[in-house]
Each structure stands twice: as structure tokens, then as C-alpha cells.
Amino acid sequence: MTALRKTLTIQSSPHISAAASVDSIMFNVVLALLPVCLFAVYEFGIAALLVLFTAVASCVITEHLLCRVSGHSTTVSDWSVVITGLLYGLVLPPSLPLWMVAAGGVIAVGVGKFLFGGLGCNPFNPALVGRAILQAAFPAAMTSWPDVSSQAFGSLPSSTLALPLTKPQFDGISAATPLANWKFNQVATDTADLFLGSVSGSTGETSALLILIGGIYLVARRMMSWQIPVAILATVALCSAVLHAIDSDRFAGPLFMMYSGGLMLGAVFMATDMVASPITHLGCIAYGVLIGLLVVVIRVWGGMPEGVMYAILIGNAASPHIDHWIQPRVYGTQRGVRL
Amino acid sequence: MRGSLIRLIGGKTFAHGIHPPEAKDATRGLTIHQFPFAPLLIVPLSQHIGKPAVPVVAEGEEVSRGQRIAKPDGFMSVAIHAPASGIIRRIAPTPNINGKMEVGFFLEPYPASTQEVAEGIPLEASSASPEQIVEAIQAAGVVGLGGAGFPTHAKLRIPDGEYVDTLVINGAECEPYLTTDHRVMLEHPDDVMTGIPYLLRATGADRAIIAVEANKQDAADSLRLAIPKHAPLTVEVLPVKYPQGAEKMLITALLGREIPSGGLPVDVHAICVNVGTTAELGKLLPHGMGLQDRVITVGGPAIKKKGNYRIPIGTPLRFILETVGTEDDLSTVVMGGPMMGTTASSLDIPITKGSTGVIAFAEQETRRTSTRKQFPCIHCGYCLEACPIYLNPSQLGLHAEYGEHQVMADKHHLFDCFECGCCTFVCPSHIPLVQQFRIAKAAVRKARRSA
């Protein structure tokens, strides 16, 4: 028996921990987004690939440089900025000039995330901040959609490589998205096309099926709240079903409403940004219902065909208040929901 | 949510909680062995919550094993007995597990002694009065052996106007690595059965429920076989979940009753006693003996000869580790389980009545938890889903970061936290939440004292 001489490490309990970490959660979200991205490239060709690449690159570089300038170590490795870049790219029209994509990416990360303090502090989904600013700055470019059937994989819309600050020329007549077609022409699109994604629209918003698969993967791994997308989609479906029953010529049916535009991508991947959504299950449901109602209101009575982006941004703004009002009932106390 | 679903399909458990790796396989099958006597035993006067005991022997005095060497100081205090026959070398300060110095006996056992145990006046459960039982338990020096070290007799004195209908015997043992209660239930079910009537009589409860988690089915079977005929006693097997062994969680799991915030089990007419404590009572009271040793799991990745040992109170950690052997890169020694246990700052710290385990980790495992990169809170909500008392650890953590300790106490139920560590365990940002809550509690208590 030898005398035991050791330097002991002391620490406060617990002394074991679960394997999950922020970077592994973020990486899994990136994985869940990959099928959506691949389908976007398959559908819209090399233009979509360039948009996605530029979006991710501009976001990642912006975050890296801002971290360096402010004297912090870079936070690029936590993968959250890659999600922002991908989501941001997926909600842009595939024919958007790349310089606009890059400018929006800088704003998304610089204004939407870094100004508020970086990961964990952003009140809004940064990807949507980038898109909202582009929408205000370049309304024409942000609503010019290439027709999905006329796209050959290798062909590049001439607008993609437009020089900065020049007015881009869009090829031919741009196609109407299903939502615009309904809003302005009262033409409905086949639900199966909507579900599978062979319609025109933003780069990654068109295939509801692949978005759902990604969402189910994340929910199964407990890396995403199922309450938020379910509440949003159920609210939209319910409201539009009621409206459709009242006047089926004026109001679109629930399936069309759910599968068209940015709703699926927004409900599954945008609204579920953990940082900008409520923390309790009940709060998530309230938040989802709020977003769902706003989507219906904007789409039906607003001036624009699509309102998911603004609905989610307003939901983001409301979520700290939802968290303030809806707190879990502590064991052994009577106080429940704080209203 | 999940808790209520499990209840619906007939399983009994509480809501929230976590499933850490059980890590019990290495020791669950190992029979309890008597541990040798260390050349020097250090027996602190305070091994329980409450006032330290008062020595009744002097330095240089000879004592025999089981002899009372310190008497209780008031009701919230218990007696202390000599863990070995030998000589009291000194009565002097010694480091305890919390990092403070406190007075203890330095007892040198006689190597040649047979170490026979002194017996006292036996107490029959059937004829004793509740007061006699409470006194006998205090005199036997018994405290909660599940880790808290609360004097057992103090729990059993039911306040006037209150009553108890159910005695819960806690055999959940939900902490990873620990297998002491498991082995006691498996090997000594008769001691448990002998101990229960004392507790029933002292509290006036009509029935007793022994709660065992499903990973100890063999222990539940052994207990069921040992139940005497017509005894008001059942064994319930609960789904495995941490922290089911916490008093509040166990009573909610079994009875569906919620102990009020700041209250005690007696407020919902229940009393909860650890199964190891019950077995010890069954062993001691019929012979009028005092507590001098206890069963401890010695395990963890850095231990060579893992096992469940009956170790004399006062055995220093160094002696235990040298006897069982450790890996060369030993770096952390935890007293208790890895979720709520305390790391030892010195190997001269002794085993006390509340020690359930000695778990040693090597460099590699220590580094995995202590040097992980910390991220900002991303509001994932994992901690809310883990917290068994439905706190909002994320919110508490944000206040802690800004030093708003009073706000945490006033508005966010800081003092309902019993520090089970579930929030820190699940946090993907690796924020030391429960550690911050401990600091906050200490700060608020300090502010209250000086106010």
C-alpha cells in the first residue's frame, strides 16, 4: 500500500452532465435544413446555389469580423450563424442579385444579432431582420420570381450577377407565386404541387414536405419545440377553414393556406428560433396562435400577398411579454399563470 | 406533462426530472463487505443538521466499540458512539466535507481488540410508547442515512394537531453510481421489516409504503418475500427517474400529494424515511445499540476494487482509497452521488453518518465537466422541463448573472430550489445554474442576517 498523494479538483455538484451542447443543437438544425437547401438547388438551379452560398458566406464573415473588431473570440464555431445564413438565403427569391444578398446578410448578422449582443440576446430572428430590410430597400427585386418550369439547371438569370447599385434586369415576365396568383388573380394552385414544391417562390419555401421532414427530425431529437409550428399551422388552418366556409371564392382553403408561401418554412424553422420565442410550452402555444392569426390577417386583408415574415417578427417582439405573463406554476404553490 | 401521462397508464412518478446514466452495474451485484479499521478514526461531533453533540469522554480515555462518546445537545442533536474499541488520542478540530473545521474525536483503535459491540437496553416496538421510540432513536445516534443527515427522531415527533396516515420508506436511490440501499434491501430485508414497526408506532401512521425504482426489481422482490403476514405494508416499484429519491418528489409520485412551498411532508400527512435508516433502526433498537458504521458504495471510474462496504464512521477517505486502490490519474473524490454529492478538498476528511458513497473520477471525466466551453443562454427551455419543482432556472440564471439575488428570492422562488442539479445537468450552454443558485441563497441569507 503506497501513500496516496494527490491534488484533488473540487467543484460544486452536479459532477456529471448530459452530452447535448449548443453547438450540437445548432449543427443538427443545419443538418435538418440541408434537404430543403438541396431541393432548392435542384429546383432553381445554380442561381439558388449562389444565393445560398452568398447568404451563408456574408453572414459568417460578418460575425467573424465583428467578433474580432470588438475584441472577442469568434463565435462562428457555434453554428448558429450558419443557420441564420441558410434561413436567410432560403427566404430570398432565387434570382435576387448577389450583391443584395450579401448586403442583407451583413445587416442580418450585424443589426439583427450582433448589435443586440450576439447569440442568446437577439430579440428577433436575424434572418428575418435581413429579409425585412431588403424587402423595404428593394421591393421590386424582392418580388421578382423566376418561373420554376423555365429554369434549366445550369442557366443563370441575368439579374444574379447585376453590379451593385445598378437596376437589375429580370428575365422575361416573372412568374406569380401561388399566393399572389390567388390574391390578385383568384387562381388556386394544385395542393400536391404546393406540398411537393414544384411552384415558384422563395429559394427554400416551396417544398412543404422536406421542411416537415426536417422539423420532425428536430422534434424527435428534442431540439425544437413542436408546440410552435403546430399552433401556427392549426391556427391558420382553422381560421382559413372558417373563412373558406363563409365565402369560398374570396377566401382560400386551409390546405392552400398552409402549404403556400413561406408559412411552412416560417412555422417550422423561423418561428422556432429558441432565442426569440417563449420558453414555456404554454407560452409557445400562445406565441404560435398569435403568429397564425397575424398570418391570416395579413394575407387576407393586408396589401401584400404574404405576411409570414411580419407575423413572426411581431411574435418575436411579443415573446418576452408572453414569458413574463406565462410562468410555470411552482411545485407546492397556488400561483399559476401570471396575468 | 410526461409525468401525468405515465400516471394515466398506471405508472407512478412525478413530473419533469431527468434520466442520467445510472452507472450502477459495476457495484449492484456486489455483496456488502465489512471494511477494516483504519489506524486512526476521526469522528466529528457534528454529523447531522442541528447542534453538535457534547463529548462525554476525555482525551486519553479508553472506549469500547458502541460506547456512547458524545451526548445530544438539546432536541435537534443526536448521540455519537465509538466506532471501534481503542483510545481517544485527541479531541480537536478537523476538516469536514464542506471545507470548514469542526471538532472531532481522534480515535486510535486497538489492533488486537476483538471489536465486539457493546449492547444496551433493548426496546420492543410492540410495547414502547412513541416518546420512548423517539428518545431511543436519538440515543442511538441515528440520522437520515440517505445523505441529508437530518436527525431521524426529530422527523418522527408529530406536531400537535397534525397526523400522519402514510409512512414512506425511501428506497428509490435515484443518484447514479450508488447501490447501498439496493444491497441493504436485497441482503437485509428482515432489518427493514424490523425497523418499520418502530416508525409506524412513533408516527401513528396506518400504513407503510416502500418505494423502489424499477432498476432494483430484485430488491423489491426480496422485500416482498420478507413482509410479515397482515403487516400494513406494500412495496411499490416506480419508473426510474432522478430526483425521485427527493422527499417531495417521492411523496408526489406515490401519493399524488404536493408538499406546500416551505412546508414539510407532515403537512400532507406523510413521513418519509430512508430505507437504509430503517434497516439500521431494525438492527440497533432491538439491542439498544448505537450507530457505529454504515454501508457505503465505493465506486466510480477511478476506483479499482469497487464495492459496497460496511465502513466504520470516522474512516478517513485516504484509508478507503488506499485500501480499494485508485487509478493513477485520480482527480476528484465525491462524497455522496455525482448529482448532489460534495467533492472532498482533502483526503483526511472522514466518512460520517450521512455519507452514502465515495465516488472517484479520473482526470478525463473531471475535465469533461469542469472545462467545458460556456455559451450564452439560448432559451431552449431544457432546464424548465427538467426542474422537478417547476422553477424557471433560465430566468433565475439571468438574474444571477447580474447579481440580483434578492429578486431571485422574492419573485422567482429561489428558496424552493433544493439543488438537485437537474438544470445544470441538461443545460446545453453549460451554465452552472444550480451553482449560481447556491451562491445566491448564501448571499440572501447573509443579507437577511445583517438586516
Q: What is the pLDDT of residues B93-149, one digit of tens each?
A: 999 888 889 999 999 999 877 778 878 888 888 889 999 999 999 999 999 998 778
Query: Across residues B245-254, what is the average pLDDT?
Result: 94
Query: Which amino acid is residue A95, in one-letter code?
Result: S
Report helix, strand or coil for A335: coil
- Quick check: ipTM above 0.85? yes
Q: CA A261 to CA A271: how far, in whole Å?
A: 15
| pLDDT tens string B273-320 | 999 999 999 999 999 999 999 999 999 999 999 999 999 999 999 999
Is the preceding peptide bond at A14 cis, omega within 30 degrees of 0?
yes
How close A25 gets to chain B, by Cα (Å)? 8
The closest CB to that of B376, out of A119, A280, A328, belongs to A119
Residues of A in contact with B252 (CB under 8 A): 331
| pLDDT tens string B32-44 | 999 999 999 999 9
Cβ within 8 Å, pair A332-B332: no
* Distance, first Cα to last Cα, chain A: 66
The closest CB to that of B428, out of A10, A11, A22, belongs to A22
A95: pLDDT strictly greater than 90: no
The closest CB to that of B379, out of A4, A15, A279, belongs to A279
* Sheet strands (E) in A70-189: none
| pLDDT tens string A249-305 | 888 888 888 888 789 999 999 999 999 999 999 999 999 999 999 999 998 888 777
Cβ within 8 Å, pair A8-B340: no
Query: Across residues A200-226, what is the average pLDDT?
Result: 86
Q: CA B142 to CA B138: how far, in whole Å?
A: 6
Dihedral sign (CA B344, B348, B351, B352): negative
Question: Which residue from A minimizes the CA distance to B420?
Answer: A14
In the block, cell 432556472 appears at B393
Task: Please enumerate residues of A whose Cβ is less than 8 A from a Cβ of B.
Answer: 1-4, 6-18, 20-25, 78, 80, 118-121, 225, 274-275, 277, 279-281, 323, 327-333
Which pLDDT value is given to residue A258?
84
The closest CB to that of B429, out of A16, A22, A280, belongs to A22
**Ramachandran category for residue B215: left, alpha or beta (phi over 0 → left; psi -120 to 50 → alpha):** alpha
Interface test with A, best of B5, B22, B380 (most A CBs within 10 A): B380
**H helix or E strand, kind and range, residue A63:** helix A46-69
Q: CA B329 to CA A7: how far, in whole Å?
A: 10
Please, where are the H alpha helices in A70-97? 80-90
**pTM, rounded to two decimals:** 0.91
B7: pLDDT strictly greater than 70: no
How close A249 gets to chain B, by Cα (Å)? 42
Cβ within 8 Å, pair B248-A332: yes
| pLDDT tens string A81-91 | 999 999 999 99
Which pLDDT value is given to residue A262?
85
B366: pLDDT confidence band, cut at 50, 70 and 90? confident
A22: pLDDT strictly greater than 70: yes
| pLDDT tens string A126-166 | 999 999 999 999 988 888 777 655 555 666 777 777 777 77
CB B311 within 8 A of CB B152: no
Answer with the residue of higher pLDDT: B114 or A172.
B114
CB B189 within 8 A of CB B88: no
Please, which contacts does A7-10 make with residues 24 or more away whose CB atoms are closer than 8 Å?
Answer: A7/B331, A8/B331, A8/B332, A8/B333, A8/B343, A8/B344, A8/B345, A8/B346, A8/B347, A9/B331, A9/B332, A9/B343, A9/B366, A9/B370, A10/B332, A10/B343, A10/B344, A10/B345
Residues of B in contact with A24 (CB under 8 A): 428
Which pLDDT value is given to residue A339?
35
Q: CA A99 to CA A113: how far, in whole Å?
A: 20
| pLDDT tens string B396-432 | 999 999 999 999 999 999 999 999 999 999 999 999 9
Cβ within 8 Å, pair B339-A280: no
Q: CA B249 to CA B109: how far, in whole Å?
A: 42
A100: pLDDT strictly greater than 90: yes
A218: pLDDT strictly greater than 90: yes
B5: pLDDT strictly greater than 80: no
Report the candidate in A151, A147, A209, A154 with the shortest Cα–Cα distance to residue A178: A147
- C-alpha grid cell for residue A237? 388552418
**H helix or E strand, kind and range, residue A131:** helix A126-137
Cβ within 8 Å, pair B381-A274: yes
The closest CB to that of B375, out of A10, A78, A329, belongs to A78
The closest CB to that of A279, out of B372, B384, B424, belongs to B384
CB pairs under 8 A between A and B: 171
Cβ within 8 Å, pair A8-B259: no
